[in-house]
């Protein structure tokens, strides 16, 4: 090897030594920082760290070659083969490999920041939260220390208002066994003088398969565990064997607050395997721990890390899914849509269940839950009929997914209109840890995305698009495309005229919405068809009572279709009269219009009114009359 070539390699090795030393020092400093609070400033941080790396390289390049040779003589002696990469390629690779505490630094502005399952608070790991351990009676809370901490003092505290805290006498261990918890009380632990995040214990539930109220007046649609640990918004419980967990979340509807369930009757069962064929050889989960924590920045999120027991190499969980009950989700509680949302590289972003017939027909107020894998390697999922579900397997279907760079075809990636169940599985877990997160609440609050904008059938809008932005809309099976500009709220209408004067009606069609100049932002929306079976009003004096300026119609109580319609006054040409909106029949069967002109011919139009999942029908004339 030439002296020139050797000095170049030495210099590169020296640069690597500088970088590795820098990373090691920086990691030690950052272990006590809640790095997630810096996420809004990630671009600034990225460029700042990038500049530090560049400065280190410049310093190393300025050093004499002889110093570089002295530092790494052993490494050079061991390298008897010429390098495959050039010096420039090696430097570039070294910089691209540079990582800092879970953040990836690269040149792409579009790159995501890696999400870690846990960030410490002081000496407390697990996002700074106590977590529940399996317990035969009451609740057992524990603290997980950061890896670098070997000695610590503990003092558990309680509070009924999360403001005034008092020490629990004698509770100075890392684990706190509370055999008689109080519903609604908050707990925390002071570790080496620093208070942990607080958790709330909620429960003493009977678990009889029906709804129950907690001490705060919230309705739990079906609590499956006697006690839950909560941050006030989302909550989890663990069975006494430590093999099943349950997750519920806060959801508000019609003035009531609910804690909606995500599992039907038994919770989310966990299994593990030490076999090379876990799909056929697995047992109830063998875990050293199940770490659960919350996100101080997003109250709807729950982080879970399964710490597999020695020898266990694969992990999975699943259940017969259920989203709340009839009061929160109507008929969709047990038949809600399950769907895999993907990243741009066709990998799993999350799996979401929404209280609608499909995600594209959901609105932001629908109940929903979302599971996001943090450990993404060797991940498989199963969606389908609840009693057919399998661990460590895909279900057959018409979708596709990419896992670890391999394209998988004929995979079920959504369910609609069935009593669904699901599983998520991880194979060959290298470090024995599997992390994922739950979010439960309304679709808007937890960030459930649809296959397009949210459909608001009542207002006849597609919502959730960028504001004042030009879009091209293509209709499946049609050649014509439409140029439409969203309004200041990011809405476009289901029917109307585009910027070129072309009339459009998207009801009953699959449409593809693309932001002009950005094919990567193409989204798909499946728009429901309008109902068509509008029923006319019988022409009978027993039904209509007409005056000089009014008409009153008495709809027979047995006429279900007439009650399912809404009505509007029109002039003799069928034009809707301003000031008269759509009106529904009252509970006693009365439908009346007043403020009319005397001796004038009027028409009444009817339509089937819009719901959360279907648009209104086209109005048609169902009655004609003349005032006195």
Instruction: Report the interhelical angle of 3-30 vs 42-62 (nearest 10°).
Output: 140
Is 283's pLDDT higher than 90? Answer: yes
- Please state, in angstroms and rounded to a whole number, the distance separating the CA atoms of residues 42 and 579: 53
Within 10 angstroms of residue 532's Cβ, the number of other Cβ atoms is 9
Task: Tell me the average pLDDT across 354-363.
Answer: 72
What's the average model confidence in pLDDT over 172-192?
97
DSSP state of 576: B
Report if residue 374 sits inside a domain. yes
* pLDDT cut 90: percent of the chain above it: 59
Q: Which residues contact 166 (CB under 8 A, 6 or more apart)?
A: 157, 158, 159
Residue 146 pLDDT more than 60? yes
CA-CA distance, 441 to 249, in Å (whole number)? 5
Mean pLDDT, the chain, rounded, equals 82
Domain identity same for 260 and 365: yes
Instruction: Confirm whether 195 is domain-assigned.
Output: yes
- Per-residue pLDDT, averaged over 319-328, amounts to 95
Task: For residue 86, name the pLDDT band (cuts at 50, 70, 90).
Answer: very low
Phi, psi of 149 (to 5 degrees): -95, 125
Q: Give the C-alpha distances (Å, rounded to integers) separating 229 from 20, 211, 317, 448.
A: 40, 18, 20, 24
- Lookup: tokens for 43: 């671009």
Are residues 409 and 302 part of one domain? yes
Do 89 and 39 belong to one domain? yes
> Do residues 131 and 262 share a domain?
no
Structural domain includes residue 539:
no
CATH of the domain at 139: 2.60.40.2700
**Residue 405: is its pLDDT beyond 50?**
yes
| Count of structural domains within the chain | 5
Residue 605: give its domain's CATH number: 2.60.40.10
pLDDT band at 183 (very low <50, low <70, confident <90, very high): very high
pLDDT of residue 425: 98
367 contact partners, CB below 8 Å, separation of at least 6: 251, 260, 323, 324, 328, 329, 354, 355, 441, 442, 443
The arithmetic mean of pLDDT across residues 251-264, rounded, is 95
If asked whether residues 357 and 416 sit together in one domain, one would say yes
**502 and 393 in one domain?**
no
Structure tokens given for 625: 């009359």
* Mean pLDDT of the region 547-558: 90
CATH number where 226 lies:
2.70.98
Band of the pLDDT at 155, cuts 50, 70, 90? very high
- For 563, which DSSP code? H
Q: Residue 250 is encoded by which pair of tokens?
A: 């806060």
Kindly tell me if the per-residue pLDDT of 356 is higher than 90.
no
Shared domain for 372 and 395, answered yes or no, is yes
> Span 206-213, mean pLDDT?
95
The answer on pLDDT for 8 being more than 70 is no
Which of 392, 415, 446 terminates a domain? The answer is 446
According to the model, what pLDDT value does residue 31 have? 41
Q: Is the pLDDT of residue 65 over 80?
A: no
- Highest mean pLDDT range out of 297-311, 334-348, 352-366, 488-502? 297-311
Contact 76, 9 (CB under 8 A): yes
- Whether 115 maps to a domain, the answer reads no
pLDDT in tens, 122-143: 799 999 999 999 999 999 999 9
pLDDT of amino acid 118: 64
Write out pLDDT tens, residues 496-542: 999 999 999 999 998 989 888 776 567 888 888 898 789 898 888 78
Give the pLDDT mean for 165-172: 97
Q: Is residue 138 domain-shared with residue 210, that is, in the same domain?
A: no
Q: Quote the CA–CA distance of 375 and 625 in Å, as a whole number.
A: 68
Predicted pLDDT at 114 = 47
- Whole domain around residue 160: which residue ranges? 121-200
Q: What's the angle, vertex CA 126, arms to CA 370 and CA 47, rounded to 5?
A: 80
Q: What is the pLDDT of residue 74?
A: 33
Residue of higher predicted confidence among 135 and 33: 135
| Nearest partner of 491 among 457, 531, 442, judged by Cα | 457
pLDDT at residue number 360: 58
**Statement to judge: residues 210 and 335 lie in one domain:** yes
Q: Quick one: pLDDT at residue 72?
A: 36
Lookup: tokens for 30: 């950052």
Mean per-residue pLDDT, 570-592: 91
Quick one: pLDDT at residue 456? 83
Q: Is residue 305 part of a domain?
A: yes
pLDDT at res. 81: 35
Residues 237-251 have a mean pLDDT of 98
Helix (H, G, I), strand (E, B) or coil at 179: coil
Higher-confidence residue of 321 and 532: namely: 321
Q: What percent of the chain has pLDDT over 70?
A: 79
249 and 389 inside one domain: yes
Question: Residue 313: pLDDT above 80?
Answer: yes
Question: For the ranges 50-64, 261-275, 320-334, 606-620, which has the lowest average pLDDT?
Answer: 50-64
Kindly state whether residues 229 and 253 are assigned to the same domain.
Answer: yes
Averaged pLDDT, 471-497: 92
Confirm whether 552 is domain-assigned: yes
- Please enumerate in sequence order all residues whose Cβ is within 8 A of that of 532, keeping only pairs 6 or more positions apart, or say none: 617, 618
Report yes or no on 63 lying in a domain: yes
Question: Does this model's pTM top 0.85?
Answer: no
Residue 380 has pLDDT above 50, yes or no: yes
């Amino acid at each position: 090897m030439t002296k020139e070539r050797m000095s170049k390699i030495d210099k590169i090795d020296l640069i690597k030594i500088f970088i590795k030393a820098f990373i090691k020092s920086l990691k030690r400093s950052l272990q006590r920082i809640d790095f997630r609070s810096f996420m809004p400033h990630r671009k600034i941080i990225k460029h700042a760290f990038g500049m530090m790396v560049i400065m280190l390289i410049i310093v190393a390049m300025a050093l004499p070659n002889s110093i570089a040779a002295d530092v790494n003589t052993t490494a050079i002696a061991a390298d008897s083969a010429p390098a495959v990469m050039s010096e420039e390629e090696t430097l570039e690779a070294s910089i691209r490999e540079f990582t800092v505490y879970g953040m990836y630094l690269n040149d792409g502005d579009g790159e995501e920041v890696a999400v870690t399952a846990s960030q410490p608070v002081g000496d407390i790991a697990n996002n700074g939260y106590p977590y529940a351990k399996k317990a035969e009676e009451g609740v057992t809370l524990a603290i997980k220390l950061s890896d670098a901490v070997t000695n610590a003092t503990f003092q558990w505290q309680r509070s009924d208002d999360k403001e005034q805290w008092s020490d629990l006498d004698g509770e100075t261990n890392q684990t706190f066994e509370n055999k008689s918890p109080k519903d609604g009380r908050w707990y925390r632990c002071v570790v080496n003088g620093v208070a942990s995040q607080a958790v709330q214990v909620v429960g003493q539930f009977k678990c009889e398969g029906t709804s129950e109220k907690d001490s705060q007046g919230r309705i739990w649609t079906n609590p499956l565990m006697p006690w839950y640990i909560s941050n006030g918004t989302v909550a989890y419980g663990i069975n006494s064997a430590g093999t099943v967990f349950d997750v519920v979340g806060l959801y508000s509807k019609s003035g009531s607050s609910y804690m909606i369930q995500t599992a039907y009757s038994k919770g989310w069962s966990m299994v593990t395997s030490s076999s090379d064929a876990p799909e056929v050889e697995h047992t109830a989960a063998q875990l050293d721990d199940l770490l659960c924590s919350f996100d101080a920045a997003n109250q709807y999120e729950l982080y879970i890390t399964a710490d597999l027991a020695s020898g266990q190499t694969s992990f999975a969980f699943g259940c017969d899914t259920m989203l709340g009950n009839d009061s929160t989700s109507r008929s969709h509680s047990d038949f809600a849509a399950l769907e895999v949302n993907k990243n741009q590289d066709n990998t799993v972003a999350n799996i979401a269940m929404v209280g609608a017939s499909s995600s594209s027909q959901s609105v932001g107020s629908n109940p929903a839950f979302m599971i996001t894998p943090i450990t993404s390697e060797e991940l498989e999922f199963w969606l389908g009929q609840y009693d057919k579900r399998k661990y460590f397997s895909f279900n057959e279907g018409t979708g596709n997914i990419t896992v670890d760079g391999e394209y998988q075809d004929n995979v079920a990636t959504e369910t609609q209109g069935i009593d669904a169940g699901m599983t998520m599985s991880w194979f060959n877990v290298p470090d024995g840890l599997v992390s994922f997160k739950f979010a439960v609440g309304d679709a808007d609050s937890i960030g459930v995305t649809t296959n397009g904008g949210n459909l608001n059938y009542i207002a006849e809008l597609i919502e959730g698009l960028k504001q004042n932005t030009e879009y091209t809309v293509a209709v499946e099976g049609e050649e014509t495309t439409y140029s439409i500009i969203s309004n200041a709220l990011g809405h476009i209408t289901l029917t109307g005229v585009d910027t070129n004067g072309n009339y459009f009606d998207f009801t009953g069609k699959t449409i593809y919405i693309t932001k002009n100049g950005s094919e990567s932002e193409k989204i798909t929306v499946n728009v429901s068809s309008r109902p068509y079976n509008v029923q006319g009003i019988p022409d009978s004096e027993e039904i209509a009572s007409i005056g000089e300026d009014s008409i009153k119609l008495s709809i027979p109580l047995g006429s279900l279709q007439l009650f399912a319609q809404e009505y509007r006054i029109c002039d003799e040409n069928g034009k809707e009269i301003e000031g008269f909106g759509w009106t529904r029949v009252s509970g006693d069967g009365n439908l009346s219009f007043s403020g009319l002109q005397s001796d004038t011919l009027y028409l009444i139009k009817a339509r089937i009114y819009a719901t959360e999942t279907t648009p209104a029908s086209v109005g048609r004339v169902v009655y004609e009359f003349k005032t006195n």
